[in-house]
Amino acid sequence: MEIKVTEKDNQTIIALNGMLDSTSAPAFQDVVNKQMEKEQMNLVLDLEQLAYTSSQGIRTFLTLLKVAASKQGKLVFRHIQPAVLEVFDMSGLTQTMTIEE
């Protein structure tokens, strides 16, 4: 999986390309943890190129949502592919997510 981090308009955008599974989730978690150390946490996860997420990926996203809430930060999910959104729906994750097109 490829992870790209960019800064734009006071937001940190993390774009994922490929598959988020037990092999790639730790690297993704490390990247996001580094970004969450900032005082002003305003993260956008761009999932336009994320083709698949496993249960490990779901756990990682859930952890990120909890950390963002505890820091009163903002975590937005953007451009979610239909197959990935279906997994989020089945897991109940969409009920706690902020989703943008």
In the predicted model, is pLDDT for residue 41 greater than 90? no
Position 39 scores a pLDDT of 62
Which CATH number applies to 2-100: 3.40.50.300, 3.30.70.580, 3.30.750.24, 3.20.20.370? 3.30.750.24
Q: What does pTM read for this prediction?
A: 0.90
Provide CB contacts within 8 A for 79, sequence distance 6+: 46, 47, 48, 100, 101
Return the exposure string of 40-65: e unless at least 16 CB atoms fall within 10 Å of the residue's CB, then b: ebbbbbbbeebeebbebbbbbbeebb
If you count them, how many residues does the chain have?
101
What does the domain layout of the chain look like in residue ranges? 2-100
Band (48; pLDDT cuts 50, 70, 90) = very high
